[in-house]
Structure 1
Amino acid sequence: MHNFIRLLKLCRPHYKAMLLGTFLATITVLANVGLLAISGWFLASMAAAGIAGTQMNYFTPAGTIRFLAIVRTASRYGERLVTHNATFLMLSEIRVSVFSTLSKLNNVDLAMSRSADLVNRLQNDVDALDKFYLNVLLPMLVALLSVPIIMLFMSAYNADVALICFTGIVLIGVVLPAFLSAKLNKNSHKETQLSAQLRSELSDTLSGLRELSIYQAREQQIAKCDDLSEQYNQQLFIRHKALANTDGLSLLVVQLAMIASIVTIAPLVYSNAMVNVELAMLSLFVLASFESVLLLPNAFIELPNVLKAAERLFTLEDKAVNANTQYDAAINNNLALQNPSLTLKNISYCYDKHPALNDVSFELKPQQKVAIVGRSGSGKTTLVNLLTGLWPLQQGNITLSEQGNCVDLHLLSNDNRARLINILAQQHHIFDGTLKENLCYAAPNATKAQMLDALAHAQLSPWFTELKSGLDTRLGTGGRNVSQGQSRRIAIAQALLQNPAILVLDEPTEGLDNQSKQSVMHAIMQVMSNASVLTITHDPALLEHMDNIIWLEDGRVIAQGTHQQLLSDPAYTSLTIRF
C-alpha cells in the first residue's frame, strides 16, 4: 500500500490530464451502456408496434441513439489521446527521476550493484510502470465513478434486477481481483526477479562473448540463459493463464447475471407489472453495465508486477535519500577543506573471510607524494578502492583534516569527494563525444583557454595541432579514435582541469611503450606539482619522485621510506623490476 501511495504521488504533476482522461473514460462507459439499453428498448418497441399495427415516435429514440454513438466515439478518442499522453509524460519524469537517483547514489551502492541490474531498473522496471495509470488506476477510477450511476438508474426500474447486477459486479470487480492479487503476489515477485536475472545474464554473455569462445564455454552460458528464460516464461504463463481464466469466469458471471435478470423480469411482464419491451432493455442494460468492471481483474493481475517494479525503483531512491541525509549531517561544517591531510588508521578488509588488508595505517600530508608498492594480491587495489569510496569501509577509519577541521571520508557526498579526490585509473573511459565534451565532464565551466592549457600540460599539443576540428573532434565509442597513451593523457588533462587536492594514480604508466611513457610521465609530474599524490606503481622513474613509499605484503605494511632507503632490501629491488 505504501508503494501504491508513492506511485500516486508520481502522478501529481499530471493529475489534471489524468482526471480528464478518467472523466472521458467514464463518459464512454456510460454512453455505451445507455446506447445498448436504449437500442434494445427501441428494437423491441419497433417490433411490438409492428405486431400491434400501431404508430410510435421514431425520431426521438433514433436521435438519442445517434447522439450516444457520437458521444461514445468522441469520448473514446479523447480518452485515448489524453490518457496515453499523460502516461508518456509520467514515464518521462520517472525515467529522469530514476537516472537522477542513480547519479546521487554513493560509490559503494554503485560499485556493489551489477551494472546490468541497474540498467534493468532503468528500462524494464520503468516500462512496467506505464501500466500503472492505463491498466491499473484508470479502471479503478472508472469503476468507482460509473458503477454508482449505473446502479442508480437500474434501481429506478427494478430493485431486484439492480441487486442481481450489483452482486455480479462485486464478484467481477472485487472478489475475483482480490483473489487473483493475493494468488499472484508471490508470482509477481519471482517474475520481476527472474526478469532482472535474465537481463543481467544476457548482458554478461554479450560482454564476455570473446572469453566464452576462447574457453569453449558458450554452450554452458547459453544453457544457463535458456534455463532462466524457461523459468521466466513459466511465470508469464502462470499470469497469462490466470488472465484467461479470469476472462472466462467474468463471462460466466455476466451470462448468469443476465439470465437471472430475465428470470426475475419475466413474471413481471407476464403479470403486466412491467411493459414487455422493458425486458429487452433491462437485459441489455445488465449486460452492458459489466463493462464498468471487466478491466478490474486484469488491473489487479498487473498491480503486483507494477508494485514490485516500483519497490525496486523506490529502494534506489531511499538509498539516495539516506545517503544525502548522512552527507548533509556532516558536510555543512567541512566545506572549507581545500588542501587536507589524508589519514588511514587501522584499516582492515576481507573478501568472504579472506583478509585483503590487515591493520594498515599511514598518512598522506598536503602536497606529499606517496607510492604504494607490493606484489599482486598484496592489497593495493583494495586500498585504492576504499580511498575512492568504491567499496564500503569494514574496519578502521579514513579521515580528511585541515587546521583542526576533520571529516570522515565516507561521509562525503560524491560531489564533495570528487572535489577533493580524483583517481587516474589504468582503464580510463572515453565517452562517445567530442574532446571538448570529455574535458567538460571534469570541469563543466572550463573555458577554451583552460582546456588548451590543460592539453598542453598533458603533453597533447603535438597531437592536438593536427586535429582539423580541434576541440570538436569526436573521440569515438570508448575512445577508439585515440591511442592508449593519448587516452591516458586526456585523463591527465581532465585531472588538471579539476585540480583536486588529492590525486590517486593506479599504475599510470602500465602498458605504455617507452615514448608514450615518457610523455605521460611529464604530464604526471605537472599534475603532481600542485596536489597530494597517492600512486600505485613499480616504475622506478616515478618512485624516485616519491616522498614516501609504503611497502605492502599480504595486506600488511612491512616497510616505509624513500626509494633510495628501500633499495638496500633485495626483495624491494626485485619488486620494482618491470616485467
Structure 2
Amino acid sequence: MHNFIRLLKLCAPHYKAMLLGTFLATITVLANVGLLAISGWFLASMAAAGLAGVQMNYFTPAGTIRFLAIVRTASRYGERLVTHNATFLLLSEIRTNVFATLSKLNNVDLAMSRSADLVNRLQNDVDALDKFYLNVLLPMLVALLSVPIIMLFMSAYNGNVALICFTGIILIGVVIPALLSAKLTKNSHKETQLSAQLRSELSDTLTGLRELSIYQARSQQLNKCDELSEQYNQQLFIRHKALANSDGLSLLVVQLAMLASIVTIVPLVYASSMVNVELAMLSLFVLASFESVLLLPNAFIELPSVLKAAERLFTLEDKAASSQVKDTHVDVDENFNSQNHTLALNNISYQYGEQTALTNISFELMPQQKVAIVGRSGSGKTTLVNLLTGLWPLQQGSITLNNQNSVVDLHSLNNDIRASVINILAQQHHIFDGTLSENLRYAAPNATKEQMIEALSLAQLSPWFNELKEGLKTRLGTGGRNVSQGQSRRIAIAQALLKSPAILVLDEPTEGLDNQSKQGVMQAIMHIMNNASVLTITHDPALLAQMDNVVWLEGGKVVAQGSHKELSGAYPGYVALTTRF
C-alpha cells in the first residue's frame, strides 16, 4: 500500500489529464450501458407495438439512441487520446525520477551495483510502471465512479435485479481480482527476479563473447541463458493463464447474472407487475453494466508486477536519499587544489566475503614523488586502485591527503574536488562514441583547440593526429573501435594532461601494448611525471627504474619497499617478478 501511495504521488503533476481521462472513460461506459439498455427497450417496444397494431413515438428513443452513440464514439476517442497522453506524461515523470535518483547516488553505491541490475531497473521496471495508470489505476477509478450510478438507475426499476447485478459486479470486480492478486504476488516477485537474472546473464554473455569463444564455453553459457529464459517464460505463462482464467470466470458470472435477472423478471411480467418490454431492457442493462468492472481482474493481475517494480525503484530512491544524508563532504580552503599533497594510506585492509585482499597496507606518496606497486595477480593491486578512486567503500584504515594547511580524508571529498586532485588512468580506458574533441573535453570541458592539440602532442599522438582529415572532429567509434589500443591509451594520457591533476594513478599503463606503442606511451608518461606525483601499478623494468620508491605486494601484504635497484639487489623473487617481460 505504501508503494501504491508513492506511485500516486508520481501521478500528482499530471492529475488534471488523468482525471479528464477518467471522466471520459466513465462517460464512455455509461453511454454504452444506456445505449444497450435503451436499444433493447426500443426494439422490444417496436415489436410489441407492431403486434398490437398501435402507434408509438419513434423519434424520441431513436434520437436518444443516436445521441448516446455519438457520445460514446466521441468520448471513446477523447478517452484514448487523453489517457494515452497521460500515460506518456507519467512515463516521462517516472523516467525523470529514476535518472534523478541515479544522479543522486554516490559513487560507492553505483560502483558496488551490478550494471546489468541497474539497466534492468531502468528498462524492465520502468516499462512495468508504464502500465500503472492505463491498466491499473484507470479501471479502478472508472469502476468507483460508474458502478454507483448504474446501481442507482437499476434499483429504480427493480431492487432484486439491482442486487443480483451488484453481487456479480462484486464477484468480478473484487473477489476474483483479490484471489488472483494474492496468487500472483509471489509469482510477480519471481518473475521480476528471473527477468533481472536473465538480463544480467545476457549482458555478461555479450560482453564476454570473445573469452567464451576462446575457452570454448559458449554452449555452456548459452544453455544457462536458455534455462533462465525457460523459467522466465514459465512465470509469464502462469500470469497469462491466470488472466485467461479470470476472463472465463468473468464471462460465466456475467451470463449467470443475466440469467438470474431474467428468472427474476419473468414472473413479474407474467403477473403484470412489470411491462413486458422492460424484460429486454433490464436484461441488456445487466449485461452492459459489467463493462464497468471487466477490466478490474486484469488490473489486479498487473498490480503485483507494478508494485514489485515500484518497490525496486523506490528502494533505489531511498538509497539515494540516505546517501545524500550520510554524504557530508568536508569544507576545504581555496589552496586545497595546489600541487603540494601527500597521499597517505594508513593500515588499509579489505575483504571480499571471507577472502582477504589487503592487510594493513601503509605507505606515502610525497609531493612530486614517483611510487610503483608491483605484485603477482591477486596480490591486491587492483583493489588498492579501486579504493583510491573513492568508488569502493573503505572497510578498515584511512586514505588521507595532507598538505601544510590540513589533513583531509579522501573519501570525505566531493567528486569534483577529488577528481581535480587525483586522476586514475585505468588499464581498460573507455572511449565514447563521439569526436576526438568530445572525448578530450570529458576531462576538461573548457579546453581550447590549441590546448587539446598540445595535449595530443605531449601524449605522442601528433603523427596520427596530423593524418586525420577531420582533425579534432574525427569520430572515434563505439568503444574506440576506430583507434588502436595504444592510441586509446595515449588519448587517455592526453585527457590526464588536460586535467593536470596533482596525483596521477596509473594501472598497468604499458600492459598489452606492442613495443612501438609502449615506447609512445612511456614517453607520454615521462612528461606527466615531470609535473605530478605518480602512483603506478607496473612490472615494466623501464618504468620501475624511473620510480623513487617501489612497494612490493604479495598476498595483500607489503613484502618490502625501496628503489627498484635496491629491491633487485636484495630479493631474487622481485627480480623474477619484474623481468618476466
Q: Please classify the TM superposition score into its range, dividing by the shorter chain length.
A: over 0.9
- Say if 1:577 and 1:323 are closer, same or farther in 2 by CA, change over 3 A: same
Q: Is the 8 A contact 1:324 1:413 kept in 2?
A: no
- Say if 1:47 and 1:331 are closer, same or farther in 2 by CA, change over 3 A: farther
Q: TM-score, normalised by structure 1?
A: 0.94
Q: Is the 8 A contact 1:326 1:411 kept in 2?
A: no
Give 1:103 shift: 4.1
Correspondence 1:494 to 2:495: yes
**Equivalent position of 2:575 in the other structure:** 573
Give 1:320 shift: 2.3
Q: Distance in 2 between matches of 1:333 and 1:137?
A: 50
Q: Distance in 2 between matches of 1:292 and 1:420?
A: 64
- Say if 1:151 and 1:521 are closer, same or farther in 2 by CA, change over 3 A: same
Correspondence 1:203 to 2:203: yes
Q: Distance in 2 between matches of 1:414 and 1:97?
A: 22
- Say if 1:185 and 1:457 are closer, same or farther in 2 by CA, change over 3 A: same
**Equivalent position of 1:262 in the other structure:** 262
- Say if 1:97 and 1:402 are closer, same or farther in 2 by CA, change over 3 A: farther
**Equivalent position of 1:192 in the other structure:** 192
**Equivalent position of 1:514 in the other structure:** 515
Q: Is the 8 A contact 1:187 1:235 kept in 2?
A: yes
- Say if 1:255 and 1:63 are closer, same or farther in 2 by CA, change over 3 A: same
**Equivalent position of 1:316 in the other structure:** 316
Q: Which amino acid in structure 1 is aligned with residue 85 of structure 2?
A: N
Partner SS for 1:567: helix
Is the deviation greater in 482-491 or in 513-522? 513-522
**Equivalent position of 1:326 in the other structure:** 326
Give 1:338 shift: 1.8
Partner SS for 1:226: helix
Q: Distance in 1 between matches of 2:130 and 2:308?
A: 13
Q: Which amino acid in structure 2 is aligned with residue 4 of structure 1?
A: F
Is the deviation greater in 416-425 or in 78-87? 416-425
Q: Distance in 2 between matches of 1:512 and 1:218?
A: 28
Q: Distance in 1 between matches of 2:287 and 2:334?
A: 69
Q: Distance in 1 between matches of 2:157 and 2:408?
A: 77
Please give the per-residue CA displacement for 1:331-352, whole angstroms capped at 9, x wherever unaligned.
4567873244322211112234
Equivalenced residues, count? 578
Q: Which amino acid in structure 2 is aligned with residue 484 of structure 1?
A: Q
Give 1:408 shift: 3.2
**Equivalent position of 2:436 in the other structure:** 435
Q: Distance in 2 between matches of 1:229 and 1:81?
A: 36
Correspondence 1:372 to 2:385: no
Q: Which amino acid in structure 1 is aligned with residue 84 of structure 2?
A: H
Please give the per-residue CA displacement for 1:169-196, whole angstroms capped at 9, x wherever unaligned.
1111112111111111011000111111
**Equivalent position of 2:537 in the other structure:** 536
Q: Is the 8 A contact 2:459 2:490 kept in 1?
A: yes
**Equivalent position of 1:337 in the other structure:** 336
Q: Distance in 2 between matches of 1:145 and 1:411?
A: 55
Correspondence 1:58 to 2:58: yes
- Say if 1:402 and 1:16 are closer, same or farther in 2 by CA, change over 3 A: farther
**Equivalent position of 2:149 in the other structure:** 149
Please give the per-residue CA displacement for 1:248-278, whole angstroms capped at 9, x wherever unaligned.
1111211222222222222322232222212
**Equivalent position of 2:231 in the other structure:** 231
- Say if 1:142 and 1:415 are closer, same or farther in 2 by CA, change over 3 A: farther
- Say if 1:245 and 1:470 are closer, same or farther in 2 by CA, change over 3 A: same
**Equivalent position of 2:5 in the other structure:** 5
Q: Distance in 2 between matches of 1:445 and 1:15?
A: 42
Q: Distance in 1 between matches of 2:560 and 2:427?
A: 25
Q: Distance in 1 between matches of 2:221 and 2:293?
A: 46
Q: Distance in 2 between matches of 1:72 and 1:305?
A: 32
Q: Distance in 1 between matches of 2:311 and 2:132?
A: 13
Please give the per-residue CA displacement for 1:110-164, whole angstroms capped at 9, x wherever unaligned.
3333322222222222111111111111111111111121122222222222222
Q: Distance in 1 between matches of 2:268 and 2:333?
A: 85
Q: Distance in 2 between matches of 1:216 and 1:525?
A: 41
Q: Distance in 2 between matches of 1:333 and 1:457?
A: 32
Correspondence 1:135 to 2:135: yes
Q: Distance in 2 between matches of 1:170 and 1:290?
A: 10
Q: Is the 8 A contact 1:459 1:520 kept in 2?
A: yes
Q: What are the within-5 Å matches in structure 2 for residues 161-560 of structure 1?
A: 161-327=161-327, 329-332=328-331, 337-339=336-338, 340-560=341-561
Give 1:21 shift: 1.3
- Say if 1:67 and 1:331 are closer, same or farther in 2 by CA, change over 3 A: farther
Partner SS for 1:275: coil
- Say if 1:238 and 1:335 are closer, same or farther in 2 by CA, change over 3 A: farther
Q: Distance in 2 between matches of 1:511 and 1:209?
A: 19
Q: Which amino acid in structure 2 is aligned with residue 323 of structure 1?
A: S
Partner SS for 1:330: coil
Q: Which amino acid in structure 2 is aligned with residue 330 of structure 1?
A: H
**Percent of aligned positions that are identical:** 82
Partner SS for 2:357: strand
Give 1:404 shift: 5.0
Please give the per-residue CA displacement for 1:268-294, whole angstroms capped at 9, x wherever unaligned.
222322222122111111111111111
Q: Which amino acid in structure 2 is aligned with residue 193 of structure 1?
A: Q
**Equivalent position of 2:70 in the other structure:** 70
Give 1:556 shift: 1.2
Please give the per-residue CA displacement for 1:277-330, whole angstroms capped at 9, x wherever unaligned.
122111111111111111011101001011111222222222222222222x23
Partner SS for 1:509: coil
Q: TM-score, normalised by structure 2?
A: 0.94
**Equivalent position of 1:46 in the other structure:** 46
Give 1:55 shift: 0.9
Give 1:405 shift: 3.8
Q: Is the 8 A contact 2:329 2:414 kept in 1?
A: no
Q: Which amino acid in structure 2 is aligned with residue 111 of structure 1?
A: A
Q: Which amino acid in structure 1 is aligned with residue 444 of structure 2?
A: A
Q: Distance in 2 between matches of 1:562 and 1:127?
A: 57
Q: Is the 8 A contact 2:337 2:420 kept in 1?
A: no
Q: What CA RMSD, in Å, does the superposition of the two structures yield over aligned residues?
A: 2.1
- Say if 1:530 and 1:319 are closer, same or farther in 2 by CA, change over 3 A: farther
- Say if 1:54 and 1:30 are closer, same or farther in 2 by CA, change over 3 A: same
Q: Which amino acid in structure 1 is aligned with residue 202 of structure 2?
A: L
Q: Distance in 2 between matches of 1:135 and 1:53?
A: 50
Q: Distance in 2 between matches of 1:427 and 1:183?
A: 48
Q: Which amino acid in structure 2 is aligned with residue 577 of structure 1?
A: T
Partner SS for 2:258: helix
Q: Which amino acid in structure 1 is aligned with residue 576 of structure 2?
A: S
Q: Distance in 1 between matches of 2:190 and 2:416?
A: 37
Q: Distance in 2 between matches of 1:177 and 1:319?
A: 33
Is the deviation greater in 442-451 or in 31-40? 442-451
Please give the per-residue CA displacement for 1:423-482, whole angstroms capped at 9, x wherever unaligned.
101111111111112112222333323322322222222222221111110111221211
Q: Distance in 2 between matches of 1:286 and 1:211?
A: 65
Partner SS for 1:505: strand
Is the deviation greater in 281-290 or in 194-203? 194-203
- Say if 1:341 and 1:275 are closer, same or farther in 2 by CA, change over 3 A: farther
Q: Is the 8 A contact 2:431 2:480 kept in 1?
A: yes
